[in-house]
Each structure stands twice: as C-alpha cells, then as structure tokens.
Amino acid sequence: MRSERDRLEEQFRLVFDGEAWHGPSVMEALKDVNAEVTAQHPIDGAHSIWELVLHLTWTYGLVLRKLTGHTTRLGSTDDWPLVPLPPSEENWVAAINTLRELNAQVRRAVTGFPEDRLDDPPVEDPRYSAYTQFIGLTQHDAYHAGQIVLLKRAVQEKRRRAAHDA
C-alpha cells in the first residue's frame, strides 16, 4: 500500500510535469513559449506568464520556509516578484530552471515528511496543516496552469488580429 506522502508527491508531479487528469500541467502549459511571449500582458489587469512563473516559484519557497520552521514574515507584495528588464531568453530559462528546482525540493520535502505529522501545522502558519500546504500547492499549480493556457491563447489572438488588420 502506498503512503499518503507518496500519493501527494505523485499528484504534485502530475500537476507540474504532466499527465494530470484536469488538463495541461504547468510545464505542458509553458511548452513552446519564449521570453517575448511570456513577458506580454495580453489581458488588461492580468499578470503575465512570466509573472505567474515567478509567483509559483515564490510560493514553493514559502511552503519550504514554513516546513523548515522559518518564522521571518515576508512582505505582502513579495509573492509577485518583478520580471527582470529587459526580459531575455537567458533570464526566462533561468526562471524556468529555478521553478523546476524548487518544485523538486518541495517534492523531496513531501516524500521525506513524517507521515504521522501530516496533520500538524507548520510553525509559521498554524492555520494550515502540512497536508493542506502540500495539497494546496497542487491546487495552486493547477489554477495557474489554466491561467497560463488562457494567456497563451490571448497572445495568439492578439497576433492573429494584428496580422488580419495589417
């Protein structure tokens, strides 16, 4: 019988890397995009794809901090880091590599977490158990993967309209 930790890690892997039942994973949604596309804001008032990637990365870091007992409070605007300017392919690749690395760290934290402590709250935020933090990351990834798909479609539509109007 597989442990609850193994099932959590599997769901985290599926929603990040692929074959999730809900639709495209984070990395599937990011397939075939470059720095120029990811820095665009095709929907007024919405974040860019790149901003979403930085936000996902920040969120992984936040949960890792909570699980390791860091009690330093982060600022309310820290969860939406700024895209480096000018956006470059080098910086985009670095952002994706950091996202992958922190995702791997969280997955290792899940599989190494004591099974009998999954219902315990972390030190920094006693409102949410470790299990809720872990499963919440999968929900968060799925939510933002959907936003990435919509932003990609919006960029394509803007390009189609521009070509049509030209």
The sign of the torsion formed by the CA atoms of 112, 106, 102, 69 equals negative
CB 34 within 8 A of CB 89: yes
Q: How far apart are CA 75 and CA 7, in angstroms?
A: 32
Q: How far apart are CA 2 and CA 43, in angstroms?
A: 43
Q: In the prediction, which pLDDT does 19 show?
A: 84
CB 140 within 8 A of CB 17: no
Q: Which residues contact 17 (CB under 8 A, 6 or more apart)?
A: 25, 26, 27
Average pLDDT over residues 58-69: 85
pLDDT tens for 85-113 read 888 999 999 999 999 999 999 999 999 99
Q: Domain count of the chain?
A: 1
pLDDT tens for 2-25 read 889 999 999 999 999 988 788 899
Give me the residue label for tokens 């996202």.
99
Q: In the prediction, which pLDDT does 66 show?
A: 80
3-state SS of 134-147? HHHHHHHHHHHHHH
Average pLDDT over residues 159-164: 84
Q: In the prediction, which pLDDT does 124 show?
A: 59
CATH number at residue 9: 1.20.120.450
Range of the domain at 148: 4-69+76-165
